[in-house]
Amino acid sequence: MITETFKIFEPNYKTKIAALIRHENNMEERKVFCIGFNKTGTTSLEAFMRENGFKCGNQQEGELLINSYLKGDWEKLIAFCQSADFFQDLPFSAPKTAAILAEAYPNAQYILTVRENAEIWYNSITEFHKIKFGKNGKLPSKHDLQEAEYRYKGFAWDANRALYDSPENEPYNKESLIKAYETHIENVKRIFSGKQNLIIIDLSKPNTVAELNTFLGIESTLETMPWLNKTSEAKK
């Protein structure tokens, strides 16, 4: 089912992934992937995982794989997965990655972080990006994203294209972004349908730590979730 779902994106997907799966079958390391969109608590989840002894992937190195993602160079993505136990943010939050990982790492655990609803998520991502990449409190334009110096000049635009099918002249089009967010959640549910290695979780809820403890089979050193990468922190 996963291969059938994904082949619309990548004609040679099945052949490429088969080789990666054969390689992965020789690996016994534990892997946990956060596959939720940005601004769903992914940075806070990383802090939780690190506090509980998981080696977390280098976010900067991961984000710099965005062009490999856009080109469908899955070998580089899988190679990066050998560097740690837990991964989040780009390229793991991008729409195509869940299907790739589900094939290459069938025994891994997957955490889909979500917000209470799509409207709350949209408000969070847009307010954060107004501060991070916009000017005069306005949403960033294509030009703003292409000129932004985060990671490298133009990374913000590449990330926008990887995540959302919004018009180039309106990269934060509300209808497009909400559709992308909701479609991602439905695709992940379909990919992992009938399996037990996915948890869908809103990290703002009070029982989050208990749910993660059960899912991961750990006794957390934390009683509550950390709260990092708040919109106010984008000014720093």
Angle, in degrees to the nearest 10, between helices 13-24 and 97-104? 40
Q: Which residues pair with 58 in a beta bridge?
A: none
Q: Which pTM was predicted? A: 0.86
Q: What is the pLDDT along the chain (236 residues), one digit of tens a residue?
A: 444 444 444 545 544 554 454 444 443 479 999 999 999 999 999 999 999 999 999 999 999 999 999 999 999 999 999 999 999 999 999 999 999 999 999 999 999 999 999 999 999 999 999 999 999 999 999 999 999 999 999 999 999 999 999 999 999 999 999 999 999 999 999 999 999 999 999 999 999 999 999 999 999 988 899 887 555 444 43
What does the pLDDT read at residue 236? 38
Could you give phi then psi for residue 55, rounded to 5 degrees?
-80, 120
Task: Answer whether 86's CB lies under 8 Å from 46's CB.
Answer: yes
Report the side by side order of strands in the sheet with 32-34.
86-87, 32-34, 109-113, 198-201
Q: How many C-alpha atoms does 88 have within 13 Å on its Cβ side?
A: 23
What does the pLDDT read at residue 227? 81
Integer angstrom CA distances of residue 113 from 28, 40, 47, 214: 25, 6, 14, 16
Q: Please spell the DSSP secondary structure of 128-162, one letter per residue.
A: HHHHHT-STTPPPPHHHHHH--SSSTTHHHHHHHH
Helix spans in the chain (H): 2-6, 13-24, 42-51, 59-63, 66-71, 74-80, 97-104, 118-132, 142-147, 155-163, 174-191, 208-216
What does the pLDDT read at residue 222? 87
Contacts of 72 (CB under 8 A, 6+ apart): 9, 10, 13, 16
Q: Which of 59, 3, 64 is nearest to 229 (CA)?
A: 59
Could you give phi then psi for residue 113, rounded to 5 degrees?
-85, 140
Query: Cα separation of 24 and 112, whole Å?
Result: 22
CATH code, 2-235: 3.40.50.300
Task: Answer whether 16's CB lies under 8 Å from 47's CB.
Answer: no
